[in-house]
Amino acid sequence: MDNIPTYIKRKHGEEEITYLHPALAPILDETYGIMVYQEQVMQIARDLAGYTMGEADKLRKVMGKKQVQEIPKQREKFMKGALQNGIKEEVASSIFDQMEKFASYGFNKSHAAAYSLISYQTAYLKCHYPVEFMCAVMDLDITKTDKLTTFAADCKAMHFDVLPPDINKSDAEFCVENGNIRYALGAIKGVSAAAMAGIVGERQKNGAFKSISDFCHRVDIKFINRKQIEQLIKAGAFDSLEKNRNKLFSNIENLLKHISASSETKSSAQTSLFGAEELSSEIKLVNAPDWQNIEKLRQEAEAVGFYLSAHPLDAYRESIERLGLKNCQQVLANIEAGDSVKATIAACVEDVQKRIAKTSGNRYAFVALSDSFGVLEALLFSDGLIKYEDILTSGLPVQVKLTIDKQNTDDKPRVMINEVKTLDTAIAEQAKGVVIYLSTDDAAKAVKQILSTDKQGANKVYIVPQIAGWDVKMEVPGGFQFFDTSIISKLRAVDGVTDIKEI
């Protein structure tokens, strides 16, 4: 792999073609003096060191499979044969070093040629048809969430979107939609691709679903069960029919009852006038407050496998910039051997895997942290786990102080957690005031109650009611201290508080 830049330069006449020994010229001439195929390694062993065909093939296997205990024996044999053929010891040693380095990642000619052709074809498609190419790639790994996460990030970097699943627009597989990719229903965790194909088939045959009632009356019970409808709701697949996901989630039993009854009515040979009316009636749903945005995104990530429509930190973008926090991608960039870098990031805690040290018996943990740019895993030692475990398992976005070390060139950077606090706490410590956006009267009452517990201070609080036709910002009389640094988290948790921005 290291020789690729040299190969390109030599192919274009930008670098002179050289050989460690003239005897290599007829063997490596077609590849500009660089070992590319396993057959070349075998031929070098035969022509320069007197190996038989069988011995050369054994050398290839030893090097290719990195049989460390066998390599010194092969080096001795190669050196002995090369010296007998008049090749200087240092030249023979350098040739063997090159063969060993190459053979650890080399292929036979037919294999390499086939791969290069496929690589050329896929590179062409990715360049000229990027959306269609990535759609096909995602379809290929439709059940592998870890790969889909990476592919979705690739699409973002290529300047097109992966649109969220939609019961009226998604297919069972990934599909191209107006220059973007529509997420596949069959890629949602815990659903059957065959069942989703059945739902899509009904939609294609009889038109888009007009409402959640229309969906329940038309879809056969054999295509949907409780787990599947739960996952579809969490993933936001019904948002085009009903935006309040928790309302649907709270009515799952009712929805399933109607799906089952409608399926039974349609399959009955005695379908009556009353049955026809039942198949067109509106299902009465019990009302329920929608999930808070952070909870909605968490449920979505559980169903899809990663944050798709948005990331919980998106709502904190201005605050993160004001606090000067890095992202996961930035802190790991350009880390070199010997570096020990300190950084502070904003992140969501995706996983906390606790361990017990065999020698000391102390607890420690590996913590998976994510933002809209990527994911990193950090180590939290015993004292930190005792101190910060409640915050890490709270489900709230966090501010994390890290140390990133890299001891050797080949090692991955080691990330260690030094300090954790909720992101809202970090914001409250720095804020001069906040603007609270409300959508209901009940939210205003709850906000007033929380603020009444605070002490008088210099921080200003403004209320913006989100009412159609209104454009007003009202200052709450007096000032606030925010002495309880969790106050912003408490305000965000109020039903009807749609956003909070600090001043």
Residue with tokens 């880390």: 335
Assign residue 236 a region: left if phi > 0, alpha if psi is -120 to 50, beta otherwise? left
d(CA 449, CA 493): 13
Rg (CA), the chain: 31
> Does the predicted model carry a pTM greater than 0.85?
no
Indicate the DSSP class of residue 469: T
Count how many domains the chain has: 4
Q: What is the per-residue pLDDT for 171?
A: 97
* Domain assignment present for 471: yes
What integer best gives the mean pLDDT of the chain?
Answer: 90
CATH of the domain at 169: 1.10.150
d(CA 218, CA 209): 8
* Domain assignment present for 11: yes
Q: What is the per-residue pLDDT for 278?
A: 60
Beta strands (DSSP E) in 288-428 are 340-356, 363-371, 374-380, 398-405, 414-422
- If asked whether residues 189 and 266 sit together in one domain, one would say yes
* Domain boundary, last residue among 393, 424, 455: 424
- The string over 406-422, giving b where at least 16 C-beta atoms fall within 10 Å of a residue's C-beta and e elsewhere, is beeeeeebebebeebbb
Encode pLDDT of 294-306 as tens digits.
889 999 999 999 9
- The string over 181-212, giving b where at least 16 C-beta atoms fall within 10 Å of a residue's C-beta and e elsewhere, is bbbbbbbbeebbbebbebbbeebeeeeebeeb
Q: How far is it between the farthest Cα atoms of the chain?
A: 100
Neighbours of 23 (CB within 10 A): 17
- If asked whether residues 177 and 235 sit together in one domain, one would say yes
What residues are paired with 404 via a beta bridge?
341, 415
What residues are paired with 480 via a beta bridge?
459
The whole-number mean pLDDT for each consecutive block of 10 residues of the chain, a chain of 503 residues, reads: 86 94 95 92 94 92 82 92 94 91 80 93 97 97 91 92 97 97 97 95 96 95 95 97 96 95 77 56 90 90 92 90 89 77 93 92 94 89 95 93 82 90 90 87 89 85 83 85 83 87 82
- If asked whether residues 221 and 332 sit together in one domain, one would say no
d(CA 10, CA 247): 66
Instruction: Report CA 40 to chain centroid distance, whole Å.
Output: 41
Q: Which domain holds residue 333?
A: 315-424
CATH of the domain at 359: 2.40.50.140
* Domain assignment present for 119: no
Q: What is the per-residue pLDDT for 272?
A: 52
* Domain assignment present for 118: no
Distances in Å between the Cα of 288 and the Cα atoms of 42, 236, 402, 443, 490 are: 72, 16, 41, 15, 20
Indicate the DSSP class of residue 395: -
- If asked whether residues 267 and 374 sit together in one domain, one would say no
- If asked whether residues 172 and 286 sit together in one domain, one would say yes
- Contact between 244 and 270 under an 8 Å Cβ cutoff? The reply is no
Give backbone dihedrals phi and psi of 214, rounded to 5 degrees, phi first.
Answer: -60, -40
- The string over 371-384, giving b where at least 16 C-beta atoms fall within 10 Å of a residue's C-beta and e elsewhere, is bbbbbbebbbeeeb
Q: What is the per-residue pLDDT for 428?
A: 86
